[in-house]
A and B are shown apart, each in its own frame.
Chain A
Amino acid sequence: MGQWTRKGWTDGWKALGVDTIPAMKGTLDSLRQQLATDTDYFRHVYNYTFEFSRPPGQRSLALDMAQGFWALLIPHGLKGGALAHVSASAQQDGDGDGDVVMGSAGEEGWKDEYTQWWFEFLESSGAKGVSKDVWHMFLEFVRTIDAKFEKYDPEAAWPSTIDDFVEYARNRLSGKA
């Protein structure tokens, strides 16, 4: 983490057509904007983050690292709409072109506070790290789960960690309500 190859650096900026520092500043701004709004781009960056932050040779990402990055990325995407809620049925169409079906009849999706719940859950479960599968699937989860955690299919291929989180969240919701 924190290390780039020179070639990668130069090639990357060249591809963006940027070669001066002010231009870089501006590009970074627009990239940040894009990250917030463009779902595909968000997914791209999000998935890359796992590889990026994982120490080489380890299979999973340390929990505190994962939480740190999640705290960075998730709110950003929620605010900008990249992580806007998609109803699960639309999501499962085969071509997966990421069509965002806006507002499936006003269904609410992931709430900001849920991210905190997620953290608390992971801590209480005693897990030391986050596996690649959980990391990747978490994105889909955030996008598709409804606010009440009702429309969740435990028979589907979700990682068991997420299965358990849903139960945790349901309990918490009913305890609160």
Chain B
Amino acid sequence: MQDVFTLLTLPQTSKAFSALPAQPQPTVAAVSTSRDSSRSASPPRKIPRLDAASDAASASSPRTAGVVESTADRRIPIVLRVVGHPVAPTPETAIEADYALVRRTIRMLLTPGEDGTLPATYDRISRACRAAVAEAGKGEGLYDAVKMELERCVRVIEGSLVNDSRKSVEWLVPFTEACAWFERQVGLLQSLLAYLDTFYIAERPPLPSVKKLAYNMFSDTVIKSARVVQAVTDGISDWLEWERTNRTAHTLRSYIPRLVHHMRSQGLYEDIVQSTYIANTHAFYTKESDKLASNNSMSAKDFLAHAQARSKEELERAQEVLLPESVAIVHDTTDNALLAGRLQWLAKDALESLMSARNDAQLKKMYKLFAKVGGLKVLNAAFKLYVQASATFNAVKSIVTDAEKDEEMIPRLLDFKAFTDKLISQAFVDEVPPLAGARSTPSQASSSKTPIPAPPTPITHPNQEFRNALRDGFSAGFKTRRNKPAEMIAKHLDKAMRRGQKGKRDEDFEAELDEVLALYPFTDEKDVFRAFYQRALAKRLLLGRSASDDFERAVLKKLKEKHDPEFGTSDNMFTDLALSRDLMQDFLEYKRKKGDIGTVQKLNVMVLQRSNWPFTARKNDVDLPRWMQEDLADYTQFYKRKHQGRKLDWDHALGTATLRARFDAGEKELSVSLYQAVILLLFNEESTMSYADIKEQTRLDDGELQRTLQSLACGKKRVLRKQPLGKDVNPSDVFHYNAEFTDPRYQVHINSIQSKETPEETKRTQNSIEADRKHALDAAIVRVMKAKKELNYEQLKTATIEAVRKHFVPEVGMIKQRIQGLVEQEYLRRDEDDMNKYIYVA
């Protein structure tokens, strides 16, 4: 784009006017502010003066050369005087003709319906105007003419619009067309009457220019006409109503943007178009929302989908039809109108059905929508409630309290948690606009084939409120059933440790364990978990069933450090076993030296320090075969010599044995529990024994005996046959050695129910936990009272709960009982006057 000066600068190569001698020139008064006072330091150039209205190359008019003289710069301007035919003053007739021409033009232009051909060329008319204004001084007349014609014109337009037979949306057509026509005509008028504007109007400041005048009149008469306004608003409203009801684009939709454009030019866009649009949107959707939500005509989930669809619809419509600044407002109005008052209902019902369907994509959309209408708090509350207590859709409470599916409790919880975690990290997230720096990927403008880099993905932050809600929901859900969840977590871990890695990578196995451990903080009953876990761990270690020592220790460490310092005692189990191994070596060495190693070399003893292991002493135990008993006595003696003052008690329930058995099909090596071994060895003497016989010889009690026999005769691997057949063992049964026993492998492991927790053992553990709790409560109560001397019942209760919180949450009834017991035993007494107060008895 070249500037004017360059164009009008005379070429440097020619001498041009420099041939003329420079003439001294008297200072001429500075004329109007010139727009092109150039002060180049180069040799004086002849820059022809440019006038303001420079569209016509009117070389015919004389120009005075006005110069701005500056003191710094004493160029001597060169005056151009065009010498030619003197300009004769225009004859009167010509002036009249010009005047009439212009007036006629104005009239023609401003008459709607006129075909538009003008009486003369643009140039002629323009010049006529100039002549009339500049020379003949008819500016005022012309101006009045314009005014008059405009008045007439707009009235006509208004009249025709109001009386137009078309109504509602169709009416917008003639309206838009009228606006468009008017704009066109005024534009043309404006250029033709340019001289009027510059010469006449510009010198009279309060007078509006032609365009302004025209538009003002149009606005006053047409647009602000009450009937027109009404018709416009009606038209818009009807159009919106139609489109929304029929959910498709109206045939006349294209007229709306045009309407918008015209209204904007008139400066009435916001007042008339935008406000109508928004008001209408709000009313429509509020109504629709009410209708759909009432009388259960639509499910929450469907309503939500509908709302989202409508939202998208409106966005599209607004983008196509309205000005950009209105789009966001319309979008928000739609969302708010639809969702106002529905938030609770949607949050509850829609959330439920979406959660149960595990539809995380939809949930993400729901979150976004709620965020827009400020409904996140409601959504959060509903989410928390769902997680905790939704009965219908397998949330925490229902999983936890489903007593029939106890075995599956943990896998189901893990599954649910994985889903909700995913929601937290992906669906319930807020977008943070990426930092400016992140956009720094330069676009490769050169010819390379690299694709344009995708816009940077927005950084998302999980919503902390929702994370908290998830956590709280889980905790509350766990509380709905005391004790059991903690127990199941411990058992689940036991299963996992026994199964072992089985070829998984270290990290994967660890991740699995971590997942389960993540559930641990939700339960209050830490002591239950601890009790069951330690028992299971002890069994695993003793029976050699654990995945790996390393993993066991790692898990213990995690438990100890992150959750519960009491797990530290479990480490001692490992030490005991290591010591036992050493001892065993010593014992065998000793026997070898003595020379009577005999059967002892088949023995392996594990010495456990009672305080480290969660086993209770047995009252009576199985009767072992004589030779075993002798070996054990041997060992006991040896041990006594090593450690005087210690007493050994044998616990055969935990023992194991390996037997070599000869069946018809071949020899097998059976690894069994000690009890099983003892029973099987009986069949060396007899191939058939009755229940009573076995009982007599082994001295096992009924429960154990039945269980053991069951594992030998009723399970998958039946080395004994039972008569009569059946799953349960009765005192009247008879057992036979099963010579036909086969198994694909040489080494057969008979599933002893011993390694898993039997229901009796579980019950025993639970009872001991109960007992421990009672003691813990007693101790806590006494401690508290000793410190405070006197407290009322409420305070004592609270203080006690607080004191044992780390281990378990006591029931109120239990606390009361313990207090009463302590009063009985005179550790505390009641106050004589206030029956609610207790006093410590020193």
Contact = CB atoms under 8 A, between A and B. Distances in A.
Interface of A: 59-60, 94-96, 131-133, 136-137, 140, 155-157, 159-160, 163
A173 B794 CA distance: 30
Nearest to B836: A157
Residue of B816, B817, B834, B835 ringed by the most chain A CB atoms within 10 A? B835
B813 A133 contact: no
A86 to B, nearest CB: 13
B568 to A, nearest CB: 37
A59 B793 contact: no
A96 B833 contact: yes
A59 B824 contact: yes
Given A133-B823, A157-B819, 9 more contacts: A59-B824, A60-B824, A96-B834, A131-B824, A132-B823, A136-B830, A137-B835, A155-B812, A157-B792
A137 B836 CA distance: 11
Contact of B824 (A95, A96, A133, A160): A133
In the A-B complex, list the 10 residue pairs whose CB atoms are closest, starting with the nearest: A157-B793, A96-B833, A157-B836, A133-B823, A160-B816, A131-B824, A140-B835, A159-B820, A156-B836, A59-B824
Given A132-B824, A133-B823, A160 B835 contact: no
A59 B816 CA distance: 19
Contacts of A59: 824
B838 A157 contact: yes
Interface string B807-842: 000001100110110011000001001111010000
A110 B31 CA distance: 118
A80 to B, nearest CB: 23
A96 B836 CA distance: 12
Nearest to A60: B824
Main secondary structure of the interface of A (DSSP, over half): loop
A59 B820 CA distance: 13
Interface in B771-815: 792-794, 812-813
Given A59-B824, A156-B793, A157-B836, A133 B830 contact: yes
Contacts of B824: 59-60, 131-133
Main secondary structure of the interface of B (DSSP, over half): helix
A132 B824 CA distance: 7
B823 A94 contact: no
A160 B835 CA distance: 14
Contacts of B812: 155
B688 to A, nearest CB: 49
Nearest to A91: B835
23 contacts: A60-B824, A94-B834, A96-B834, A131-B820, A131-B824, A132-B823, A133-B820, A133-B823, A133-B824, A133-B830, A136-B830, A137-B835, A155-B794, A155-B812, A157-B792, A157-B793, A157-B816, A157-B819, A157-B838, A159-B820, A160-B813, A160-B816, A163-B816
Contact of B817 (A136, A137, A157, A160): A160
A131 B830 CA distance: 13
Contacts of A160: 813, 816-817, 820
A101 B812 CA distance: 33
Contacts of B817: 160
B799 to A, nearest CB: 14
A155 B835 CA distance: 13
Nearest to B813: A160
Nearest to B819: A157
A144 B833 CA distance: 15
Nearest to B793: A157
Contacts of A96: 833-834
A132 B823 CA distance: 9
Nearest to B792: A157
A131 B829 CA distance: 13
Contacts of A137: 835
Nearest to A153: B836
Nearest to B796: A157
A155 B816 CA distance: 10
A94 B819 CA distance: 23
B822 to A, nearest CB: 11
Contacts of B819: 157
A93 to B, nearest CB: 10
Contacts of B794: 155
A154 to B, nearest CB: 9
A32 B764 CA distance: 57
A140 B820 CA distance: 17
A60 B823 CA distance: 12
Contacts of B838: 157
A157 B812 CA distance: 11
Residue of A60, A94, A140, A159 ringed by the most chain B CB atoms within 10 A? A159
Contacts of A133: 820, 823-824, 830
B823 to A, nearest CB: 5
A157 B813 CA distance: 11
A94 B833 CA distance: 8
A52 to B, nearest CB: 18
B795 to A, nearest CB: 11
Contacts of A156: 793, 835-836
A95 B794 CA distance: 20
Nearest to A95: B833
Contacts of A159: 820
Nearest to A136: B830
Contacts of A163: 816
Contacts of A136: 830
Nearest to B812: A155
Residue of A95, A132, A137 ringed by the most chain B CB atoms within 10 A? A132
Contacts of A155: 794, 812
